[in-house]
Amino acid sequence: MASLYREIPLASDAARAWATLRDSRNIARVFAGVLTDVQVEGDMRNVTFANGNVVQERIVTVDDARMRVAYTVCGPNFEQHAASMQIVADEADEQGERCRLLWVCDFLPDERRALVEPLMDAGCAAAARSLSIERG
């Protein structure tokens, strides 16, 4: 099973970043440039990638206490797919202006790594831009 781990520093307080990430309807905005649209119905969401591909995802859990959302990709492209995104406060930041996005993705078959990893890296860059606050 392929496992991808990413940790993205954000210039934002954890509560603000979580409020944006936890709402499935915001996901196209969080990952702007990688995703162009999202349609949500119940625990299912259809996400449209910039290349036109549409993927159906099931939201498994939204855990406000841990600031974590878990989801899986449905459909024929994966034998197994489980992922989570979690906002973690930076405890060393005394002003509370920094946090991190932890993103973990496990999937089969391993060969999908060539497809998933570049999208995940592009998603990390997009999330860093959209979840961080410009400070002046």
Domain residue ranges in the chain: 2-131
pLDDT bin (cut points 50, 70, 90) of residue 123 is very high
As a whole-number percent, the residues of the chain with pLDDT over 70 amount to 94
- Residue 94's CB: how many other CB atoms inside 10 A? 8
Amino acid at 82: A
Beta strand pairing status for 44-49 and 54-63?
A: antiparallel
As a whole-number percent, the residues of the chain with pLDDT over 90 amount to 83
Predicted TM-score (pTM) of this structure:
0.91
Q: Which CATH number, 3.30.530.20, 2.40.128.630, 1.10.287.110, 3.40.640.10, labels domain 2-131?
A: 3.30.530.20
28-61, pLDDT tens digit by residue? Answer: 999 999 999 999 999 999 999 999 999 999 999 9
Residues 73 and 28: beta-carbon distance below 8 Å: no
Amino acid at 25: R
Smallest CA-to-CA distance from 83 within 48, 55, 42 is with 55
- The answer to whether the Cα torsion of 51, 33, 118, 123 is positive or negative is negative
Average pLDDT over the chain, rounded to whole?
92
